[in-house]
């Protein structure tokens, strides 16, 4: 039987966002519109990464997005495809383990 513990307050899961460099920014900096490709997409991602680079909660943000399997936008300086690759490699290592 599993030991019962009090549920963790939901706010704890999001507390790190109080320190986010992107707090209050327009989300279009971090999320490409559907179908955006090429130079426009790369430019948007570069702009988002520049914000993330100086963010004091970058590690928490990155961890959060990876843990939740966040599929859209730039989180913690990682693009969607970079997070997919990390998740894929992580699964491969686990299976090989």
Q: Measure the CA–CA gap between 51 and 47, rounded to whole angstroms.
A: 7
The closest of 93, 69, 90, 89 to 80, measured between CA atoms, is 69
Q: Measure the CA–CA gap between 66 and 91, rounded to whole angstroms.
A: 12
Instruction: Enumerate residues 22-81 that contact ligand SF4 by CB under 6 A.
Output: 22, 30, 51-52, 55, 57-58, 61, 75-77
CB of 5 to ligand SF4, least distance (A): 28
Between 76 and 83, whose beta carbon lies closer to ligand SF4?
76
Residues forming the site for ligand SF4 (CB under 6 A): 20-22, 30, 51-52, 55, 57-58, 61, 75-77
């Amino acid at each position: 039987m599993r030991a019962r513990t009090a549920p963790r307050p939901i706010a704890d899961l999001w507390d790190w966002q109080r320190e986010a460099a992107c707090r209050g920014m327009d989300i279009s900096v971090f999320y490409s519109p559907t179908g955006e490709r090429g130079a426009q997409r790369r430019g948007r991602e570069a702009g988002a990464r520049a914000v993330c680079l100086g963010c004091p909660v970058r590690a928490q943000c990155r961890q959060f997005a990876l843990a939740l399997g966040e599929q859209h936008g730039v989180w913690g300086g990682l693009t969607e495809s970079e997070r997919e690759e990390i998740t894929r490699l992580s699964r491969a290592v686990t299976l090989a383990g």
